[in-house]
Structure formats: structure tokens, C-alpha cells
């Protein structure tokens, strides 16, 4: 990467010498589910539920150049297709302690669980975000550098 300087010596732009491009898309999903955090030292140790929100992030540096998906890195419908069985069979209107096999289904554990279920199905999967409430979120990714883009 090369730093281009302006007249006064202040950095103006960063030029990527490889001229690579990257696109990141996100597909939002929602589900209603209960969980219980048995080791928690507060009210979350009790059975309770949330209106969960999540986002699947997919990254790519090449767009499909022909056909029905031309100009896309991946069709949002394909992400939905892979996500739907998880929602239908494990997440939406379920008790997450039972269906995910997680003894302590924190937002962190749920984000990682979803990522692991999808990583072999969705090429370019970068991260999974889980919002437990409207003010509390978690993003899981394999690799620290992925967080720079989210």
C-alpha cells in the first residue's frame, strides 16, 4: 500500500497497489427464542427470551460475470436458503439450550454456532452478527482482520 501526500505533507489518500476490490454483503434475519445462562450471576440465569436479530456477512473480490446472478458476489436468496433450515429447525421459537447443544448459549456462543453451521455452505462467509437486544450485539468471525471491515 502506498501513501500519497498532499502539498502540506498531510496524508490525503491510501492507494492499494494491488488494485483489488472487495465487496461485503449482509443478509439480515430474525428469530424469537428463549435461553438460559446457568452460570450467570444475575437475572439471565433464569429462563427468558429475546427477539433476536442477526446478519450474515459475505465478502468477495470477484462478481459473477454472467447469468442470472451477474454483478453479484452471492445472491441474497442463496444466503437465505442456507439459513432457513437453521431458523426452522433450531432457532425460531425454540429453547436454544436444547436445540443448539450449547450449555451456556450466550450471544457469543450463538454467533459462533451459526457461523460454524454455515461456513462450509457459504463461500466467502466473513462474520455472523447477533443482536440479543436492541442495545447488545456480538460479531463472530474467524480472523481478527475481518473486524476491520465491519
Q: Point out the residues that are catalytic.
A: 44, 93, 132
Residue 147 C-alpha cell reads as 473486524
Please, what is the Cα angle at 73 between 68 and 78, to 5 degrees?
65
Structural contact between residues 98 and 104, judged by C-beta atoms closer than 8 angstroms: no
Amino acid at each position: 500500500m502506498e501513501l500519497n501526500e498532499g502539498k502540506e505533507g498531510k496524508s490525503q489518500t491510501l492507494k492499494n497497489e494491488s488494485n483489488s476490490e472487495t465487496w461485503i454483503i449482509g443478509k439480515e434475519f430474525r428469530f424469537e427464542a428463549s435461553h438460559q445462562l446457568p452460570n450467570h450471576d444475575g437475572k439471565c440465569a433464569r429462563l427468558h427470551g429475546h427477539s433476536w436479530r442477526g446478519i450474515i456477512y459475505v465478502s468477495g473480490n470477484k462478481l459473477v460475470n454472467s447469468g442470472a446472478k451477474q454483478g453479484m458476489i452471492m445472491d441474497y436468496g442463496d444466503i437465505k436458503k442456507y439459513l432457513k433450515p437453521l431458523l426452522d429447525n433450531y432457532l425460531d421459537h425454540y429453547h436454544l439450550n436444547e436445540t443448539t447443544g450449547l450449555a451456556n448459549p450466550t450471544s457469543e456462543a450463538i454467533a459462533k454456532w451459526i457461523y460454524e453451521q454455515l461456513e462450509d455452505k457459504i463461500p466467502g462467509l466473513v462474520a455472523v452478527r447477533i443482536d440479543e437486544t436492541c442495545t447488545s450485539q456480538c460479531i463472530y468471525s474467524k480472523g481478527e482482520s475481518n473486524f476491520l471491515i465491519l
